């Protein structure tokens, strides 16, 4: 098998305090983003905040800035415009607080009036009320919570309970960190981003299972080594495999990011962040957490035997 790294001996668990400090900082942004999202103060898409999405097709290509100016002149303010150049399509999105009555007709009329030589037709339109948006928001959080519980049950069934808990904590870390990055970058939180977060959880979990599987195997074979040494040995043994998997997946996401179009641009960006953070947490967070669990269990066992 092709290997990038051969016989490495990196002390991953020895760097756990630095990685824990770095992750605590990233988690702070993630938790803050959750608070702001629950209060409706984050940059929520119309999926969650409510609003309207209108897709139009024009006969000829159009400059997006000219279309935005035409809508502003017609009194349709605050619209977010997205262009699909190859198909002469224009996506107009309006959030709930700026949606007006008959907004679909207003948008079409404004564009046709401004560009009489380039008529627009409405291909589709979607309007989501604030109640539906709030329900979608709750459903999305519920979906993430159910996914996390499922991870604990799956890992606990396949390995041990301590593996399940540490893998879940590390996966939570990955999801919250990506959410925090999107919040800091003021990226719009949509259902597509929630889909990306759930996909990240699945990928991250698979990465951790690979490492944990090797740790479990070495716990049976290397009984003379300490728990620290077994964890470091296990990560180093799968280092080349996880690195190659990560790099090849990242290259695919990079192609989607640049060539996949505007619609899945943020999805690909979230996945790239998730891939890097998930790999980092498999090496520097999940396994060191397992070490802390083991040390804590030994302390409690020793205290129990002395009492």
Q: What is the reported pLDDT for 251?
A: 93
133 phi, psi to nearest 5 deg: -60, -45
Whole-model pTM: value is 0.79
In a 10 Å sphere around its CB, with 0-12 CB exposed, 13-18 middle and 19+ buried, how is residue 66 labelled?
exposed
pLDDT digits (tens, 9 = 90+) for 125-135: 877 766 666 77
**Residue 163: pLDDT band with limits 50, 70, 90:** confident
Structural domains in the chain, sorted by start:
13-43+132-298 (1.20.1640.10), 51-128 (3.30.70.100)
**Residue 56: pLDDT band with limits 50, 70, 90:** confident
Please state the rounded mean pLDDT for residues 218-228.
85
pLDDT digits (tens, 9 = 90+) for 181-210: 999 998 888 888 888 888 888 888 888 888
Q: Is the pLDDT of residue 119 over 90?
A: no
């Amino acid at each position: 098998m092709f290997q990038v790294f051969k016989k490495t001996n990196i002390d991953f668990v020895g760097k756990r305090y630095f990685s824990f400090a770095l992750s605590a900082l990233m988690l702070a942004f993630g938790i803050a983003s959750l608070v702001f999202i629950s209060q409706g103060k984050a940059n929520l898409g119309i999926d969650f905040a409510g609003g309207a999405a209108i897709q139009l097709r024009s006969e000829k290509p159009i400059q997006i800035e000219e279309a935005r100016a035409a809508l502003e002149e017609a009194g349709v303010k605050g619209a977010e415009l997205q262009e699909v150049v190859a198909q002469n399509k224009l996506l107009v999105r309006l959030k709930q607080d700026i949606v007006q009555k008959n907004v679909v007709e207003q948008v079409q009329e404004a564009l046709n009036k401004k560009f009489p030589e380039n008529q627009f037709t409405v291909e589709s339109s979607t309007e989501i009320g604030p109640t539906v948006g709030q329900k979608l928001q709750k459903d999305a959080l519920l979906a993430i919570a159910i996914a996390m519980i499922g991870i604990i049950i799956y890992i606990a069934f396949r390995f041990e309970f301590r593996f399940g808990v540490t893998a879940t904590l590390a996966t939570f870390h990955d999801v919250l960190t990506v959410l925090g990055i999107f919040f800091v970058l003021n990226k719009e939180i949509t259902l597509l981003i929630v889909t990306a977060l759930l996909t990240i959880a699945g990928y991250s979990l698979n990465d951790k299972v690979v490492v944990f599987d090797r740790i479990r195997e070495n716990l049976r074979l290397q009984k003379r080594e300490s728990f620290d040494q077994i964890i470091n040995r296990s990560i180093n043994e799968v280092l080349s495999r996880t690195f190659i998997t990560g790099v090849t997946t990242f290259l695919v996401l990079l192609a989607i990011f640049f060539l996949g179009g505007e619609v899945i641009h943020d999805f690909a960006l979230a996945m790239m962040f998730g891939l890097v953070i998930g790999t980092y947490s498999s090496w520097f967070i999940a396994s060191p957490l397992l070490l802390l669990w083991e040390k804590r269990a030994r302390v409690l066992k020793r205290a129990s035997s002395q009492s």
